Amino acid sequence: SNENNNARGALIVLEGLDRSGKTSQCRRLHSRLVEQGIPIELWRFPDRKTCVGQMISSYLANKSQLDDQTVHLLLVLTVGRKGFPYFMSLMESKLKSGTTLIVDRYSYSGVAFSSAKGLDIEWCKAPERGLLAPDLVVYLDISPEKAAERGGYGGERYEQLEFQREVSQQYQILRDGTWKIIDVCLPVEDIEKQLRELVLDCITTCQRGKGDIGSA
Ligand code: NYM
């Protein structure tokens, strides 16, 4: 039988503290894989261009106040949702057509950041049910102290050492044995290489049609 009938793209998520380097790594990875001719798109959550995304962006920039539950639920609306604005069905059709998605933050960020504020973790997780399950979650591991030394730190609401320590603890609660951890203290080329290998492996597995697109 023709293998390609089953070929689907992989849903790959990068998570980590603020300033852990997710965005730069996602961009490098994306351009390398595009060069290799792999059908791939780079996504990020929250998408600040949507109207709810703009509310979130203004909150993160300390330009508006919202209570913690409200922020959590607004973010829930923007992260990978069906119907808002149809991210989930769009993601699903991309994956089915063989396009791999590299996603800079997903629902884990929502749970880690909101539970770090003291919200009940089960309450935070409840609205995440039914989202597409990633095929691979890569956690870029940096200590909160190291992250605080990086350029551009402190620009946004959550970029506070004490708070990031909490977020880091919540990520440790969330992550299970399937998450791949990359030590961000390694030279940047090594991080890039490790990440690329993990991702190529995952793409190959999904191309073979192993497993359906899951739901969380
Ligand atoms: N964030 C992100 C949350 O608190 N909850 C979420 O669900 C998501 C997706 O927003 N500090 C936080 C994490 C970051 C900020 O920053 C988004 P960036 O630099 O766009 O990843």
pLDDT the model gives residue 211: 61
Number of structural domains the chain divides into:
1
**2: pLDDT strictly greater than 50:** no
pLDDT of residue 208: 86
Model pTM?
A: 0.95
Ligand 1, CB cutoff 6 Å, lining residues: 18, 45-46, 60, 75, 79, 105, 109-110, 113, 156, 158
Residue 214 counted as domain residue = no
How far is Cα 216 from Cα 213, in angstroms, rounded to an integer?
10
3-17, 43-57, 95-109: least confident range: 3-17
What is the pLDDT confidence band of residue 85, given thresholds at 50, 70 and 90? confident
How far apart CA 33 and CA 40 sit, in angstroms, is 7
Confirm if 144 and 161 have CB atoms less than 8 A apart. Answer: yes
Structural domain that includes position 126: 3-207
12, 102 in Cβ contact below 8 A? Answer: yes
| Model ipTM value | 0.97
Ligand 1 atom 20 nearest Cα: 46
Q: In the chain, how long is the greatest CA-to-CA distance? A: 57
Is the per-residue pLDDT at 210 higher than 70? no
Which domain CATH number covers 44? 3.40.50.300
